[in-house]
Structure 1
Amino acid sequence: AVASSDSATYRDLVDALGPNFEGGYFLYRFSDPTYVVAQAVVRAVAGTVLRGGGRAIDICGGSGHLTRSLLELSSETPVLADLYFAKIWLARRFTAPGCEPVCCDGNAPLPFARGAFRYAMCSDAFQYIWTKRQFVAEMVRLIGDDTAGAVVINHTHNQRTWSPSHGQPLTPEGYRDLFETLEPRLFGETGLLADVVKGGPLDLGRRDSGETLDADPALTIVGTRRPDVFAPHRLAPPPSDARGELRVNPLYVLDSDADPAGYRLRFPSEDYEQEYGACRQYLPDRVTIDRASLAALDAGRLPSGLLDLARRRVIVDLPKNYY
């Protein structure tokens, strides 16, 4: 009944799918630290390699949160590939309408022709893939011999450090050795997050030391022959007009219904706070927003006085009917 309702929100459907659907992860995805870094990397790398045209694919892309960033970068409709139909259905309906969803298993050869894409990525999933060498070979195959293309793996866990949802990670050199025909560069996610928190640039020209990589719980891997990818990249400013709906981040609860309204940061669970607590680097514990600014948000406009809150993900541009 919920799925067939035109008024159902993304949150309604995620709740209806039950606690095993990772709803707490997906609902708050647009402001968690792994997404904040991955979105910046996607905009930098895909924005560079797709500038002259080309198609993108998001493999193991869940319900399409990062695929949404590819919609404006891919010259052809980006493909969202995931094992679970419910996730790509949610993406098509809410998160990334207009993407081309494909159900397939990342542990098997991918059902796409060689060279069908110029940009192939996987975010926050590679540590759960068993056939890692095959997966990387498939990603490289998808971009073919395109010297302008790129393969990106965002937020893959590090065997040398603990994380709450560890999976089956490799060491930094283990990840590097998966690439046979493309020289990858590895980045510690902590340094990339620091770049984003300070307002940029995102420095993909850095070469993190072995000690830095060994100590970081999560790694980003970029494989490309394009030297202009490995450079500092300016971060995109917050949009002045909503692509979807400008809303207060769902991690905030209304504390005071006065003018200005008061909001308090509240994590959905202790587990969430343990895994994504780094968001406190940019999400303040409490904020106030005046009624006139809230009315402007409802009208789809971002007032200049809220630019900093938008940059810090207190105000987020969410898909329509998200929550």
Structure 2
Amino acid sequence: MDLSAADHRIPLSDGNSIPIIGLGTYSNPRVTPEGTCKTSVKAAIDVGYRHIDGAYVYLNEHEVGEAIREKIAEGKVRREDIFYCGKLWCTALDPENVRPCLERTLKILQLDYVDLYIIELPMAFQPGDKIYPRDENGRWLYHKTNLCATWEALEACKDAGLVKSLGVSNFNRRQLELILNKPGLKYKPVSNQVECHPYFIQTKLLKFCQQHDIVIVAYSPLGTSRDPTWVNLSSPPLLTDPLLKALGEKYNKTTAQVALRFNVQRGVAVIPKSFNPERIKDNFQIFDFSLTEEEMKSIETLNKNVRFVELSMWSDHPEYPFHEEY
């Protein structure tokens, strides 16, 4: 795969293509100053990013939309140059809620379509206005839904021109097969967005997805924040790994660049999140070196098969995806 900073799109099974590196925009809205995300998206577009990963539940899609529209107005990019991924949240998995949820995202972004729309998690929560619904005792309010019916509603959104490509996130093999084997399937998922990095290389899921022409998009490709309220801290920080550091020194690259390059060479798209302009720039500089086969194999041996992002607070949900091996 001959990728460059100017051309790093890889094909999707529906005839569209996805830039192999994107900017993640997740942040805690309680502690992130207004405007931070917008500034970061604009900086990323200036650097050469064309793939922006967002979600309604990040509560910053209005900033992403503003940044994209301003860069289009400046003549820096055209709308078709930008690849935006939005997400269908757990409270909107009932078929009748799918299109209104996507239309709300389009209204917030002030865009006519999104390039990729994915089911954020295979677990349904009680529909309603609350993003994280709980009862009076603080217990999560789960909901039973039919993922195949959700998928059919997404297919209708694609037919209506509201979205170019459809995918999923955090689906295990069984949940992917549910969609892939659905009678009358019109559009198969083009991507599965999951945690993937040198400490959690997802070999079996990657192989399964590749067999079905599904691109893996890696979230937390550099590990993740060390926030003990939601992150499993049993693995050490990825970016202090001695092997990644040594390879960084060899190529005059950062450990982050080595970790990103590892996934890109496996055909895995990466969406590192950063609101730091220097790191946004650094993370993009992965097209001017490549790792040898031996180096790729040595990085694979770092695999600990342990997630940073376990979502263990929902582990009692009937569709919790991580009880199974992959």
Alignment TM class, shorter chain as reference: 0.3 to 0.5
- TM-score, normalised relative to structure 1: 0.32
When the two structures are superposed, what TM-score results if normalisation uses the length of structure 2? 0.32
Tell me: higher relative CO, structure 1 or 2? Use CA pairs within 8 A at least 6 residues apart: 2
Instruction: Write 1 or 2 for the structure with the bigger share of strand.
Output: 1
